[in-house]
């Protein structure tokens, strides 16, 4: 479903040296996973014998019992579509290999040997096993069948899933086999492990899994041996981890006395397209691999995963001060470089009392503070017009006075009336012309003031407005440095809240955040805003969500709609979301011409619509197929 797959990491209660008992417990978990629509479930290393069987793995009786146990599992999984990855010891050419066997519907799909054998301190695998890292293009007999055998195996369905398998120490190696698997298309990686518990080791283990998932731009599913393994000299806690592209989605509680598994729904379609859109993944070297086609997987009827409704806003676990400091520093240093390069000492900025101009002013102020420049060289200009309310004007003036910048006021009413007269426009006709005349009048004042005093005009338009083309061409669309161009509206609100730590302006910021977003270009009524942007173009939180998924990995409109319905379930109904997504797509394509000539500005997050920094698109693309895709 939309590239989502349910994967699981199991930790079965092990009886060392008794494959029959272990097989029954493993089979129970496989059946339970299948009932829960799990596509693939992975078990710990040497699942059927127990990792700590040690030298008994060289005993004929144990190996024969293991093979019987595997046959028992196969015989009882003929109707099980869930793929299971089990750890077994296999003989080939009079050598014993520590392997992962991949099974589905009573068949062995392939066998992957362990490449790196630990042979230090409490680990001594070279006593029993031989490394399989050089085995490619080979076959091996398993339960009377010849099956593919080697480290060159990948397993693939007919949609978005390609997975590879490595075993325990392989992940800890300088160059893990999973690196090569990922470079050959594996977006799902599994690890069967037997990692013992030492003080603090679980933290490093989780970090290792998480960072490997990020490096490989993949999902990494890890299962380690648990309770039931021998505690003769070391203890195994049974660590299960599922990480996706640098983030841990699920992790169990170690030292659980009972068999269990953890699950997560992972977006493999997203990972595939992220590889195209970001990083140097496509430059990685490909090797010859054998791809094994898997059978039909359990049908995922509903995605069980929290979808972040604010993808641009740092998570609740992030340190807000640290994140906001970083954002403001990117803005500030971008502006500092531009002003130093142009030998300009004054900044000119239009202040409306709205979110965007507030952040631009605060970040400009921070840049001047960082360089020790005279704050009075920030020239803030309020430009009240037909729709300006007392509330927004007062907030703008109060903020400027609190910051100590130079404040000027230029009423654009008379200028706009003269422009109406010049172009023969009826002042009572409140059309787009009526609005754009005012917007261009304000930009003209800013540009002319900058020329007069030798200043730099700071743009205030944000990434959300740029995506929608919600600006007047050659009006607020234009500036000499677009300071907010890399920051979407939802993130602007987040950063402005951070400035409330300054007690002098905290109450002003509170009111600015509570003020409806408006260009204030239509006449107000009883000093109240009558033109609310979000009632015209839709909620910015929705548009930021659409923008993220559309640009980040090129998601289809139907998938964006599905995810948005999940993310905003209690706030917007499906039809409302669909209406605003339709508008987003239409405006995004038709307004590209504004982005093609937008001014310079700093990229702040992973998404930018600058034609120089990131987004390159023709201004006259037909968008019909995207609207059709919304209906699919």
Nearest to 195, CA basis, from 68, 9, 66: 9
- The DSSP call for residue 158 is S
566-585 residues labelled b (16+ CB within 10 A) or e (exposed): ebbeeebeeebbbebbbbbb
Question: Which run of H or E residues covers position 460?
Answer: none
* Cβ-based neighbour number of residue 511 at 10 Å: 15
Please state, in angstroms and rounded to a whole number, the distance separating the CA atoms of residues 405 and 110: 70
Handedness of CA 151, 156, 162, 163 (dihedral sign): negative
Q: Is 552 exposed, middle or buried (0-12, 13-18, 19+ CB in 10 A)?
A: middle
- The DSSP call for residue 302 is S
* Cβ-based neighbour number of residue 352 at 10 Å: 24
For the question of residue 201 being annotated catalytic, the response is no
Sequence-distant (6+) residues with CB within 8 A of 442 are 350, 383, 385, 412, 475, 476
Out of 99, 168, 216, 400, which one is annotated catalytic? 168
Decide the pairing of beta strands 188-193 and 162-167: parallel
Q: Is 54 exposed, middle or buried (0-12, 13-18, 19+ CB in 10 A)?
A: middle
What does each C-alpha distance from 12 to 6, 63, 239, 240, 250 come to in angstroms? 19, 19, 11, 11, 17
CA dihedral 80, 84, 87, 88 (to 10 degrees): 30
Out of 25, 37, 45, 419, which one is annotated catalytic? 45
For the question of residue 45 being annotated catalytic, the response is yes
Look at phi and psi of residue 202 and say left if phi exceeds 0, alpha if psi is from -120 to 50, else beta.
alpha
Q: What are the backbone angles phi and psi of residue 229, rounded to the nearest 5°?
A: -65, 155
Out of 25, 37, 99, 114, which one is annotated catalytic? 114
Q: Which active-site residues does the annotation give? A: 45, 114, 168
């Amino acid at each position: 479903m939309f590239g989502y797959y349910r994967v699981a990491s199991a930790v079965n209660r092990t009886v060392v040296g008794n494959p029959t008992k272990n097989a029954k417990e493993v089979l129970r978990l496989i059946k339970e996973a299948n009932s829960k629509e799990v596509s693939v479930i992975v078990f710990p290393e040497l699942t059927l014998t127990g990792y700590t069987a040690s030298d008994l793995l060289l005993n004929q009786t144990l190996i024969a019992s293991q093979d019987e146990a595997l046959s028992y599992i196969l015989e009882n999984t003929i109707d099980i579509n869930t793929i299971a990855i089990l750890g077994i010891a296999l003989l080939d050419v009079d050598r014993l290999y520590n392997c992962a066997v991949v099974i589905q519907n009573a068949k062995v799909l392939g066998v992957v040997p362990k490449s790196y054998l630990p042979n230090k301190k409490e680990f001594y695998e070279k006593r029993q096993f031989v490394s399989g890292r050089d085995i490619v293009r080979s076959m091996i007999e398993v339960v009377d069948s010849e099956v593919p055998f080697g480290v060159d195996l990948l397993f693939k369905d007919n949609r978005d899933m390609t997975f590879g398998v490595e075993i325990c120490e392989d992940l800890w190696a300088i160059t893990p086999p999973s690196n090569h698997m990922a470079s050959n298309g594996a977006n799902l990686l599994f690890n069967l492990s037997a990692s013992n518990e030492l003080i603090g080791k679980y933290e490093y283990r989780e970090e290792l899994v998480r960072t490997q998932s990020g490096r490989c731009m993949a999902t990494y599913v890890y299962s380690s041996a648990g309770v039931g393994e021998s505690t003769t000299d070391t203890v195994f806690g049974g660590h299960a981890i599922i990480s996706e592209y640098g983030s841990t989605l699920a992790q169990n509680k170690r030292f659980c006395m009972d068999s269990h598994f953890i699950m997560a729904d992972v977006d493999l379609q997203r990972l595939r397209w992220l590889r195209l859109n970001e990083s140097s993944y496509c430059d990685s070297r490909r090797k010859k691999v054998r791809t094994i086609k898997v059978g039909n997987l359990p049908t995922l009827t509903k995605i069980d995963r929290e979808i972040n409704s604010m993808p641009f806003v740092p998570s609740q676990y992030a340190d807000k001060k640290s994140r906001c400091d970083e954002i403001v520093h990117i803005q500030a240093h971008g502006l500092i470089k531009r002003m130093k390069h142009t030998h300009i000492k004054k900044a000119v900025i239009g202040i409306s009392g709205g979110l965007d101009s507030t952040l631009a002013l605060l970040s400009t102020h921070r840049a001047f503070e960082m360089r020790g420049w005279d704050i009075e060289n920030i020239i803030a200009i309020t430009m009240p017009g037909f729709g300006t309310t007392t509330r927004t004007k007062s907030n703008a003036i109060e903020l400027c006075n609190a910051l100590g910048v130079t404040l000027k006021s230029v009423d654009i009413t008379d200028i706009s009336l003269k422009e109406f007269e010049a172009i023969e426009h009826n002042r009572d006709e409140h059309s787009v012309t009526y609005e754009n005349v005012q917007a261009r009048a304000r930009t003209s004042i800013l540009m002319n003031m900058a020329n007069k005093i030798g200043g730099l005009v700071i743009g205030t338009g944000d990434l959300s407005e740029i995506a929608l083309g919600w600006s007047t061409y050659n009006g607020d669309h234009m500036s000499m440095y677009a300071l907010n161009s890399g920051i979407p509206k939802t993130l602007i609100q987040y950063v402005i809240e951070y400035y409330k730590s300054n007690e002098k302006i905290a109450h002003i910021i509170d009111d600015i955040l509570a003020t409806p977003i408006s260009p204030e270009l239509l006449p107000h009524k009883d000093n109240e805003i009558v033109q609310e942007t979000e009632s015209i173009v839709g909620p910015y939180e929705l548009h930021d969500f659409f923008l993220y998924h559309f640009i980040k990995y090129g998601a289809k409109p139907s998938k964006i709609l599905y995810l948005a319905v999940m993310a905003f379930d209690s706030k917007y109904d499906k039809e409302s979301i669909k209406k605003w997504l339709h508008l987003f797509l239409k405006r995004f394509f038709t307004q590209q011409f504004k982005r093609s000539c937008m001014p310079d500005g700093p990229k702040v997050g992973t998404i930018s619509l600058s034609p120089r920094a990131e987004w390159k698109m023709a201004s006259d693309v037909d968008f019909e197929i995207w609207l059709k895709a919304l209906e699919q």
